[in-house]
Structure 1
Amino acid sequence: MTQPALPYDPLGIAVDLIRCPSVTPADAGALAVLERYLAPLGFTCERMRFSAEGTPDIDNLYARLGSGQPHFCFAGHTDVVPVGEASAWTVDPFAADVKAGRLYGRGAADMKSAIAAFVAAAQRVAVDGFQGSISLLITGDEEGPGINGTKKMLERLAARGETIDHCLVGEPTCVERLGDTIKVGRRGSINGWLTVTGTQGHVAYPQLADNPVPTLLEMLRRLDAHLLDEGTDHFQPSNLEVTTVDVGNTATNVIPGSARATVNIRFNDLHTGASLDKWMRCVLDTVTAEMGGSYTFKTSVSGEAFITEPGAFSALIAEAAKEVTGITPELSTTGGTSDARFIRAHAPVVEFGLTNQTMHKADENAGVDDIARLADIYETVLRGYFAGRAGA
């Protein structure tokens, strides 16, 4: 295959990636595209394939240039969410059309363009030479279960003694304009599935039944009414949301035998998944003691809250963004979870990428100029990093 021409064009790389319909768990050739650009620069490209019972096998890519320290890692994902309602798109989601200065396609914002920008930036730095290592940790499982991707890749690196000094994740962090937001942490997330069991019966004879619905509603009222906290210096207040309530009763004259609900809590660093599980069960036990009945409750923590304390590394990225865009970024912890939740146990991690206004939407797109400027920002970050301006 013909070697890509130098210097690398981030738009061209993004187009190549978007034309791979890599909806989780499919790779669809996306990792091969990256290998085609990275291998000629001297990157050692290693496929990491992981599997687990009940989950799809996932192909991942770890590519590293250099073997010394400091080790700068860029983390991201080539998998994308499904197209959704195809008729809502005005373009082919995987054609990577450029119209009116914007690149359209699934993954344009989240986050194939950011990966392309980093590859272009790495090429510029590699040509000039540097002391240390640059790597890319690219998964195909970020939009999926998150089981056979970044977490297992990091575990494999750790098992063989390979360490990362700092990591930049290319998620779309900016809100209105490129450069306005850097993520230095994320809130945690815990889901809870609650089932209250009673006794089914005829509505005309309530004394012969035990209606679980009032008990469930009181449980949800108390959970929802509780003020978890008022936020911290770096985090907004934690919030509990009731996401489903379901009885499944199609009859108007039957008291149901069970009622179910699901809740989600997005929480800051004042809490842990375990502490919130304990609190919710205490509330449920109290209501059950007062009103009777029984319940089952299962929780799952998709990520704990974390923060990379603002310092030299976040300042390096903020300064690079301001130098290119003229905007001073806000340091934020808002938004959902990302694979940074796995990386934070291995290295200081900060997230910075394009605007997130169209991610996961029909006609997802990114500005062509923004993609070019993001490559400039990443290049500035890399040069500053290897000059020692991040404590590297």
Structure 2
Amino acid sequence: MLSRAISILGGLVRIPSVSANSNRPVSNVIRQILQNQGFLIEEQTYRDGKGIEKVSLIATRGTGSGGVLYCAHSDVVPVDSWSYSEAGPFEFHQTADRIYSRGSCDMKGSLACFLAAAEKFAEHNLQAPLSVIVTADEELGFVGAEHVSKNSALFRQLVDQQPLTIIGEPTLLNVVHAHKGIYVFQATSKGRAGHSSTLEAINANVKMIPFLNTMYEIYQETLTDPTWSHDAFDPPLISWNIGINDFTYASNIAPERSVCTVSFRPMPDQPIEKLMDRVRAAAEMNGLILEIDHAAPPFFVPADAPHIQQMLSYTGQEKAKTVSYASDAAMFGELKRMIICGPGDIVQAHTDDEWIAIDQLEKGTNLYSKLIKELCCS
């Protein structure tokens, strides 16, 4: 199965499915693999804000309840720089123990493991359903997953079936029972551009400054108030991150626009709307335009939940973990038996020499094969 997983991965990473572009080409390849394995496939499409087609696939084999659902995304982050000199970011380069390419770790390697494992059972009569969701635009705020959850007929079927749901993000195959959410918002102040020596110019930063003071006050509060910390996570903070841009290139220009972007990572049971109410009030008081880019809640199931303990027994691990990044799990809350578990190390994701260890591909393929055998074929 390892050689098959590597072969599939090579085909996937050679397609540059950066989120800014359509993921139709890579989706067509994945769809063909699933068709060859006998899956019933539903395609959900939409066009993003620039009119670019995006594709999510939902596929299933078998009937009944339970079973296994594997979830991945087919988009990858852009390549602003690439330091690995032996091959380009959308080439496939294998060494003795690694595979280098954009998306190898996050998360085409994981998807290749599942597809290779599922192929092993293509001729089996399943006793419980085997399903897969491959979304678009995960890297842009789980847009594809949200679209699937709201529009897919097969997703509604999966909610009724309540399979063991594996979000295959890179965890080094550790069982993860919780992750942080991610909120991103922008506040925009508008002025009038002009030379700073005149009275005609209106500096957009003037209205932005008091708003920034409020953002700083919240930042300081999140460092010290235990309301905004959670000891189960590392780091235990919501990571209130403030960015500012007035788009000027010379000191004698009064900027006509000033934008503050804030991102933060809420954790379970935190009263996030209290923070957002303060943000809204500060924006309104200073005449700013406030836009919520995306708001994905945290994912959490108790570490002692039966399906978490079941997965720990399959992996031979003693304790489930938490992670500080977010995933499509934030949009799939109707699936109650969900975990995060996939090959690869998140430290390697999005890097300028992204790679995945071959031993992780082997272990991932074997684990997914074991799950299919135990939960769909027995």
Query: Shift of residue 221 of structure 1?
Result: 2.9
CA contact (8 A) 2:267 2:298 kept: yes
Between structures 1 and 2, the one with greater helix share: 2
Q: Which residue of 2 aligns with 1:298?
A: 291
Task: Give, as a single letter, the amino acid of the residue that structure 1 aligns with 2:332.
Answer: I
Q: Which residue of 2 aligns with 1:261?
A: 260
SS for the counterpart of 2:348 is coil
Query: Shift of residue 185 of structure 1?
Result: 2.6
Task: Give, as a single letter, the amino acid of the residue that structure 1 aligns with 2:139.
Answer: E
CA contact (8 A) 1:321 1:329 kept: no
Q: Which residue of 1 aligns with 2:300?
A: 307
Q: 1:211 to 1:232 in 2, by over 3 A?
A: closer
Unaligned runs of 5+ in 1: 1-5
Q: 1:53 to 1:33 in 2, by over 3 A?
A: closer
Task: Give, as a single letter, the amino acid of the residue that structure 1 aligns with 2:169.
Answer: E
Q: 1:329 to 1:373 in 2, by over 3 A?
A: farther
The answer to whether structure 1 residue 100 and structure 2 residue 96 are counterparts is yes
Indicate which of 23, 26, 34 corresponds to 2:22: 26
Cα separation, 2, equivalents of 1:277 and 1:39: 45
Q: Which residue of 1 aligns with 2:182?
A: 189
Query: Shift of residue 137 of structure 1?
Result: 0.8
Cα separation, 2, equivalents of 1:380 and 1:101: 23
Q: Which residue of 1 aligns with 2:310?
A: 316
- How do residues 1-392 of structure 1 correspond to structure 2 at under 5 angstroms? 9-24=4-19, 25-27=21-23, 29-51=25-47, 54-86=50-82, 89-144=85-140, 146-147=142-143, 149-158=144-153, 161-164=156-159, 165-166=162-163, 167-173=165-171, 178-179=172-173, 181-195=174-188, 211-212=206-207, 215-227=210-222, 229-232=227-230, 234-235=232-233, 236-244=236-244, 246=246, 248=248, 250-251=250-251, 260-271=259-270, 273-282=272-281, 294-310=287-303, 311-322=305-316, 328=318, 330-335=320-325, 337-353=326-342, 354-386=344-376
Query: Shift of residue 264 of structure 1?
Result: 1.8
Query: Shift of residue 96 of structure 1?
Result: 1.2
CA deviation vs aligned residue, 1:109-140 (integer Å, no higher than 9, x gap) = 01111111111222334545431110111123
Query: Shift of residue 36 of structure 1?
Result: 3.7
TM-score (norm 1): 0.78
Query: Shift of residue 171 of structure 1?
Result: 0.9
Unaligned runs of 5+ in 2: none
Cα separation, 1, equivalents of 2:265 and 2:73: 23
RMSD over aligned Cα, in angstroms? 3.5
Query: Shift of residue 349 of structure 1?
Result: 2.0
CA deviation vs aligned residue, 1:25-75 (integer Å, no higher than 9, x gap) = 333632333334333332223333223554421122222111222242111
Q: 1:9 to 1:283 in 2, by over 3 A?
A: same
CA contact (8 A) 2:149 2:155 kept: no
CA contact (8 A) 1:189 1:273 kept: no
CA contact (8 A) 2:106 2:170 kept: yes
SS for the counterpart of 2:89 is coil
Query: Shift of residue 266 of structure 1?
Result: 1.4
Q: Which residue of 2 aligns with 1:3?
A: none
Percent sequence identity is: 20
CA contact (8 A) 2:82 2:353 kept: no
Cα separation, 1, equivalents of 2:257 and 2:114: 52
Q: 1:157 to 1:67 in 2, by over 3 A?
A: farther
Task: Give, as a single letter, the amino acid of the residue that structure 1 aligns with 2:242.
Answer: V
CA contact (8 A) 2:99 2:358 kept: yes
Cα separation, 2, equivalents of 1:110 and 1:160: 23
CA contact (8 A) 1:11 1:372 kept: no
Q: 1:54 to 1:33 in 2, by over 3 A?
A: closer
Cα separation, 2, equivalents of 1:76 and 1:151: 13
Deviates most, 229-238 or 12-21: 229-238
Highest Rg: 1 or 2? 1
CA contact (8 A) 1:59 1:140 kept: yes
CA contact (8 A) 1:157 1:163 kept: no
Task: Give, as a single letter, the amino acid of the residue that structure 1 aligns with 2:241.
Answer: E
SS for the counterpart of 2:351 is coil
